[in-house]
Structure 1
Amino acid sequence: MGRAEYGTAKYASKQMKARGLQKLKFYCQVCQKQCRDDNGFKLHIKSPSHVRKISQISQADIEEYTKQFENDFLRLMRLTHGEKKIEANKFYNEYIQDKDHIHMNATRFTSLTKFIKYLGQTGKIRVHGVDVSKGDNDHDDDNADADDDVDMGQLIISYIDNSQRNLLRREKLQELAKNEKSDQEIKMMLLQRQMESAAENAKEDKEEEEIAPVVREPAGTVSLQLGKSSSRSKKKPNTRKNVFQ
């Protein structure tokens, strides 16, 4: 089948499809070539150029791809989400939006679940909802099947920031929390002392009232003196006039 000529509708359609994100399983990391479907991928892996490059791949190259994939994954997680929780599958979809990212099929990990558990076991991220304290399951077929049965929606991950800057920030926050706690303890201690002092003063006042005798003054004699009035009131003459006279 011939190539589409430049400027034709078929050429423009192919260019638009090439810009979009294709299926990851049809991507060849060694050749850095994206195939559109299963048929194209099968034709590519049978090509002489691909066979020649694959024959030159060593275990060291796979470890290098794995290291680069891990570093890019953690760097994007640190920059975009920090230490916040996020679903593993949702974040992986954010990671693969970059067409130039290192694909997982070029690493030693066969699934996202195993990769997430590896990061959790090495202390690089926190995995919530799933126990990752067990050993590596890459060489155990029974445990590998159990890993595939894990619901990706249950894998909640968060980044562990062990940088020097973040450690200093944590120490500062702990120091502030400790100082705040000390201030509260001092206030509570002073309040307790005031309450104890008030209780002691009230007790002493009560004891003094019980011990002190009650002294009453003798009742004095009350004398009344009755005297006669020196002048008597005189009647005033009636000065009214008779209007009929």
Structure 2
Amino acid sequence: MPRAEVGTPKYLANKMKSKGLQRLRWYCQVCEKQCRDENGFKCHAQSEAHLRQMLVVGENAGRHIADFSSQFQHDFVQLLSRRYNTKRVRINQVYQEFIQDKNHLHMNATRWVTLTEFAKHLGRSGIARVDETEKGWIIAWIDSIPKALAKQEASIKKDRATRDDAQRERTLIESEQIERAKLEKEASDEGSASPMQRRFSLKYHCMSHMTRKEPKMYSYLDNDND
């Protein structure tokens, strides 16, 4: 069937349809192409461009699936945290908002086949609290930022305490070294005195004792003579 010419009503109608949200099952994540219906998706799957791209992906399918899964989880959790923070919400509600973006990464390209499997994965990974209720799976994002900040603060305090202990130990060692050096210097000064200096010091000491004035003694005989 020939394509509608640019500017014709048919062309404008097709453009309007392409702007809206299409069926997720008719989207090819590998080629990033949205097909309008099942017939269009089958035609695309048989096209040369799609088959060539599939050969490239097939060479390392595990890595591509892991990349798609990581990107899908990142975008989904980012929406969950910004839109609902830590409030409890049905995961299907978050998913419906998530797929409103035409350029979102589709879950059929990830390792998770269903939304339930993805919800369980978030619970096991500690990213969200997950509960199964009558209304479906309820999730709540776990804000790990306060925990990270508390851990970082504890690490800083520990490092500061370690540095303070090390500083006190260095100060004590320096004080001991200064005192030891002082004592060694005094001992060295005493030992380095010359023999003449020592004799002079001894002579001066003896003379100081000899020239000391003795107190005068009085006897009772002196009193009688007077």
Question: Would the TM-score normalized by the shorter structure come out above 0.5?
Answer: yes
Equivalent AA in structure 1 for residue 104 of structure 2: H
In the alignment, residue 155 of structure 1 is paired with which amino acid?
Answer: W
- Could you tell me which of 96, 99, 103 is aligned with 1:96? 99
Equivalent of residue 72 in structure 2, options 69, 74, 82 = 69
Task: Say whether 1:45 aligns with 2:45.
Answer: yes
Instruction: Give every structure 1 segment of 4 or more consecutive aligned residues whose post-TM-superposition deviation is greater than 3 Å.
Output: 164-168
Deviation at 1:167, TM superposition (A): 5.4
Greater Cα shift, 49-58 or 61-70: 49-58
Please, what TM-score do these two structures have when normalized by structure 2? 0.62
The residue number in structure 1 matching 2:131 is 128
Match of 1:161 among 140, 143, 153: 143
Is 1:114 matched up with 2:96?
no
TM-score (norm 1): 0.58
Residues 174-218 of structure 1 show CA distances to partners (whole Å, capped at 9, x for unaligned) of xxxxxxxxxxxxxxxxxxxxxxxxxxxxxxxxxxxxxxxxxxxxx
Structure 1 residue 129 displacement after superposition: 2.7
Q: Percent identity?
A: 46
Larger helix share, 1 or 2: 2
For 2:138, the aligned partner's letter is: I
Count of residues in correspondence between the two structures: 148
What are the superposed Cα offsets for residues 4-33 of structure 1, whole Å, 9 maximum, x if unpaired? 111111011000000000010000011110
Name structure 1 gaps, 5 residues minimum: 131-150, 172-245
- RCO higher in 1 or 2 (8 Å CA, sep ≥ 6)? 1
3-state SS of the aligned residue for 1:16? helix
Separation (CA, whole Å) in 1 of partners of 2:51 and 2:132: 42
Shift of the alpha carbon at 1:53?
A: 0.6
Superposed CA RMSD: 1.8
Distance in structure 1 (CA, Å) of the matches to 2:27 and 2:124 = 29
CA distance in 2, matches of 1:121, 1:15: 43
